[in-house]
Amino acid sequence: MNSPNYYSDLISRIREIQKVEIPGNLLSRQPVRTGAEFDPNGYFEILTHLSLETGYILDFAYEYHEGLGGHPCLYARPVNDAPFESISQHQVWEENYSVFDYLIADGSPESFFELVVFREIANQFYLYWHASYNDLRIITAKDEIEKVISLLNKGGWEQSDPEQVQAALKLNPNPEIELTETSASVIYCTFTKWGGFTLHQEIFSRAHPHMLLCKDVLQTVTYNCGIVY
């Protein structure tokens, strides 16, 4: 790996660029893009072991429902094509394509961890109202588990069950990547206030497109903040 802090640094950098306010032009029944919004192609300056197919760039359409919330919908488009003007165009595109089909890993262990990171949190910007249910974070070290528990107990959320706290502290959240000639296995840990800590295993095809061949939950330590929107 690039450094002992590779995993946590990568997640922190993604979170930092996602700290952007939602522009008012997106919060309408027919969101209008001005071109000044968040540019998701900036992810590839951080996820340096991933790239898009040659000739494509990353873009997003915004899905907004008054009184319910809004969130971005990522897609890949040819460089010279105009962006989608409406969420309905994205919905038609999504019937036949997935943004993940355009992602290319460079074959290194890091690239498949970065593939998981993209799949899990790349769409966590411009989340509005109920879309904020999508609070999933990737946990990469034991001290991060301790910080999460401390924040929960200090933040006015439902207090953590002592037995569940001990179970969480026993988890090994360090990502594990194993490559074979044809596949890449990634074991990683996540946390959400609506479910708790979970250890996942995902197995991808090493050849592009990197199909998700298998997905399994290895261990869960449950937690629920008790909030209902």
The pLDDT score that the predictor gives to residue 218 is 98
Q: What is the mean pLDDT of the chain?
A: 94
Residue-level pLDDT at 157? 61
Pairing status of strand 56-65 against strand 69-78:
antiparallel
The 10 Å Cβ neighbour count of residue 119 is 16
Please answer whether residues 11 and 117 qualify as being in contact, where contact means their C-beta atoms are separated by less than 8 angstroms.
Answer: yes
State how far the Cα of 194 lies from the Cα of 223, in Å rounded to an integer. Answer: 7
Amino acid (one-letter) located at 74: L
Kindly tell me if the per-residue pLDDT of 155 is higher than 70: no
pLDDT band, very low/low/confident/very high, at 229 (cuts 50, 70, 90): low
**Contact by Cβ (8 Å): 123, 135:** no
Q: Each residue of 29-53: pLDDT tens digit?
A: 899 999 999 999 999 999 999 999 9
The owner of tokens 């708790």 is 196
Structure confidence at residue 162 as a pLDDT band (50, 70, 90): confident
In tens, the pLDDT along 194-228 reads 999 999 999 999 999 999 999 999 999 999 887 76
pLDDT digits (tens, 9 = 90+) for 59-81: 999 999 998 999 999 999 999 99
Quick: pLDDT tens for 164-183.
Answer: 999 999 999 999 999 999 99
Write the CA distances from 20 to 40, 108, 124, 160, integer angstroms.
Answer: 12, 31, 11, 30
- Given this model, what pLDDT does residue 227 score? 73
